Structure 1
């Protein structure tokens, strides 16, 4: 029996995810093949501390293959050890010439018990969610059944006994593909942090690893095909093999730096969003400001540290001003149609000069310009944290 272990949407989740990494190391020592289904980097205070260097080291030490997620491209273009880093597997995305590692459409992994083929692909919504600056130079095409079938057949000719898809497209998208007769009957899903983790019907499977370092996915593959699908949560793991003690001690010291004190704690992200929208409007000197609320993850305590800031807003974004006047209600409606929740600070109804984050402006496909005095979301948060000076 060949074990294949997968993680997904890890988002630099340390120290919380250190148990998962210890379990991955133990599985690899026992002969498992190990892959990541995308978004291993970014989205945490630890990433701000590490700048991806420790995450690169972990992937190099433990993983056999990596599928690119929408938060990974920046780090894939600055590999410290391109030759040692595992192959990046994606059939429908091509990197720019600046990429120095190994990039393949599909890959055959030879385990102790079975040879497994892996076809990776990135969904359209995931690609479009990548800021334009980060995806510049990458060449993308939508994944099609014909494309994936061709890659799978090539792997079988090369000796793969069992071929899986690894999709950074979203669980429900992958289920829809299966229901339409997708050429690969077993797909590891990532991207959308949905509550579903395993769909099965007539021998077809879509399985999603736990997100944010909360565990891993285990596939058991025999000569007859897929024999088992299981999710191993951190609570079920007893291991101290993560080998990150020095890195985590340094991170703890870095994250404890005090940034400032609020007049009173902000209990949730909505309360933070309202304060930031007001400050963003003042910083941009516009009559309105729109903030994509989901960019925030939590509230803020009374005393704000570095770690608190990144826990609240793991992703930074430049503030910009839209080129033309806009009706705020129209922008909010368009944003909601794209799945965004918006917090607005605006004067009475009518045409407005509008500032927002670069991320939201690009999502809305609207022309924009930078602020006269450059400012980011994190700059607003730091200013907010120092309101009791």
Structure 2
């Protein structure tokens, strides 16, 4: 029989995005500290690399089941949180059924940590929620995070001593959340992918974030006066001997996929060789080519459709799936009727929802009934596709990255 864990602290990861090229430090360290540490995640554990594309989320699910106690849902991998194994450890205060208003997940997890009764809940920011593909969030909605947290606090304040939130809203949004909810002790931040990790103190609340992509974590420990908090990187390790059988088998599966992802695609073109990928440069070149080659009235692409990564001399299959992990198709899409004569308003709307854009031509035509874009933008923010362009985004990117003067 497994003895009860005497918990002393909380360790939080965020935005791992299936980044398992060097997963051993994360797996080994979280396993080593787990006897005295509640292990949590702030969302987007799934999706973002070839390991997800080839493994279909099974690796991520096994890691979460084997190591984690409580997790927040993120916009990436939203559907996986309805898998019974993942749903069992998911909490969220503000994700509800659109028709009934009933919570989609447990609103609260409580644990005794360092002698205190600690409430752990989570929120998803509105921008993050609306970036979930439409078909995945159909029938769901989110309520205002601060109000949702106040409601949970009122319902359970007599049961706990401290409040901890796993947020998938962004660091700046979490600073505002801390100001609005002064009863919170710690907010573990996620979603933003910024260089701001904290900790930042807002009143009596600490806001901090672990390094994304499985590089690091945030730590919080209750103390008599207030919580102590810090961030850290996972320490390097090379041996798998410390892993239990379940995690060792997961690591073996990661290694098997790594071999497949290492297969070469072709030499990298000179403008992109030997450097961190400039997403805007690549999308700009792609938009220009698509506008000319396919005769589209306009091409509109969002930078967040791509991920940046270090490129060497040869493009591998893994590089390609890391750069374009979402399997987007290029499609011709209807522009909403109210925006067809307002290209500036169209770009402002898309940028607010989907992040920085690349558009061609510049400026856009004054009247724009259709645009060539990704199926994600077409179905989430435009009026759907008219027809497919017959090309996946990944194929178009591969042509640019592996052509030109290689020597």
Q: TM-score range by the shorter chain?
A: 0.7 to 0.9
Are 1:93 and 2:109 matched, yes or no?
no
Quick one: distance in 1 between partners of 2:237 and 2:258?
23
Once the 2 structures are TM-superposed, how far is the Cα of residue 294 of structure 1 from its aligned partner?
3.5
Q: Is the 8 A contact 1:321 1:356 kept in 2?
A: yes
The residue aligned with 1:250 is: 256
Q: 1:48 to 1:362 in 2, by over 3 A?
A: same
The residue aligned with 1:342 is: 357
4+ long deviations beyond 6 Å: 236-239
Quick one: distance in 2 between partners of 1:296 and 1:115?
42
* Structure 1 length-normalised TM: 0.84
Once the 2 structures are TM-superposed, how far is the Cα of residue 59 of structure 1 from its aligned partner?
0.4
Once the 2 structures are TM-superposed, how far is the Cα of residue 199 of structure 1 from its aligned partner?
0.8
Quick one: distance in 2 between partners of 1:84 and 1:337?
30
The residue aligned with 2:58 is: 53
Give CA-to-partner distance per residue, 1:57-101, whole Å, 9 cap, x none.
000011111110111212223x3xx2586421011113699xxxx
Once the 2 structures are TM-superposed, how far is the Cα of residue 249 of structure 1 from its aligned partner?
1.9
Q: 1:27 to 1:373 in 2, by over 3 A?
A: same
The residue aligned with 1:169 is: 169
Quick one: distance in 1 between partners of 2:265 and 2:343?
33
Quick one: distance in 2 between partners of 1:187 and 1:88?
16
Give CA-to-partner distance per residue, 1:227-280, whole Å, 9 cap, x none.
310112125779754534412321121102333455545343233213322444
Give CA-to-partner distance per residue, 1:281-300, whole Å, 9 cap, x none.
46754132111124323376
The residue aligned with 2:206 is: 205
Moved more, 105-114 or 40-49: 105-114
1:371 counterpart SS class: strand
2:111 counterpart SS class: strand
* Structure 2 length-normalised TM: 0.80
Q: 1:94 to 1:332 in 2, by over 3 A?
A: closer
- Equivalences, count: 376
Which residues in structure 2 correspond to 1:127-206 (within 5 Å)?
127-145=129-147, 147-157=148-158, 159-197=159-197, 198-206=199-207
Are 1:219 and 2:220 matched, yes or no?
yes
Moved more, 31-40 or 179-188: 179-188
The residue aligned with 2:286 is: 276
Structure 1: gaps (5+ residues): none
RMSD: 3.2
Quick one: distance in 1 between partners of 2:76 and 2:294?
27
Give CA-to-partner distance per residue, 1:298-330, whole Å, 9 cap, x none.
376554221110232233323232325566555
Q: Is the 8 A contact 1:284 1:371 kept in 2?
A: no
Which residues in structure 2 correspond to 1:304-383 (within 5 Å)?
304-324=315-335, 331-338=346-353, 340-346=355-361, 350=365, 351-352=367-368, 353-361=370-378, 365-372=381-388, 374-383=390-399
Q: 1:345 to 1:115 in 2, by over 3 A?
A: same
Structure 2: gaps (5+ residues): 1-6
Q: 1:322 to 1:210 in 2, by over 3 A?
A: same
